[in-house]
Amino acid sequence: MLDISIFNPETLDDIIDTLIAISLFSDQSEQDPYWEDPDFGSKLYTLVREKKTPQNLVLAEQYATDALEWLVDDGWLESLAVSAEYRDESTIVQISPVKKEVDLLRETIT
């Protein structure tokens, strides 16, 4: 089982929450890529049946980071941190996004 936890929800909004969820839960598959961007999505699905090893925790963190990096690159987030741990029978991936502070008036004028 894979569980995603997004920390600091009061600084985010529904749009960013949705973008995070879509990015993490869309499978980045070579056989069936997303039609517009074959690099979109994550490879977290590949770890669902894997053994619980330290190497797979590192992979879970990397796969989540890779799937969400576009949110930083495109200016949706200032930064994000990802960590993973095993808890009982689940792999817990914790996402700590930092929303970009935008001065809407300045953005409109420039």
Q: What is the pLDDT of residues 56-98, one digit of tens each?
A: 999 999 999 999 999 999 888 999 999 999 998 888 999 988 8
What angle, rounded to 10 degrees, do the helices at 14-25 and 54-73 form? 130
Share of the chain above pLDDT 70, in %: 71
Q: What's the pTM?
A: 0.75
What is the residue-averaged pLDDT of the chain?
A: 80
Check residue 74 and report its DSSP letter.
T
Using 50, 70 and 90 to split pLDDT, how confident is the model at 18? confident
The predicted pLDDT at position 35 comes to 55
| φ/ψ bin of 88: left (φ > 0), alpha (ψ from -120 to 50), beta (otherwise) | left
Domain 2-109 adopts which CATH fold?
Nuclear Transport Factor 2; Chain: A, (3.10.450)
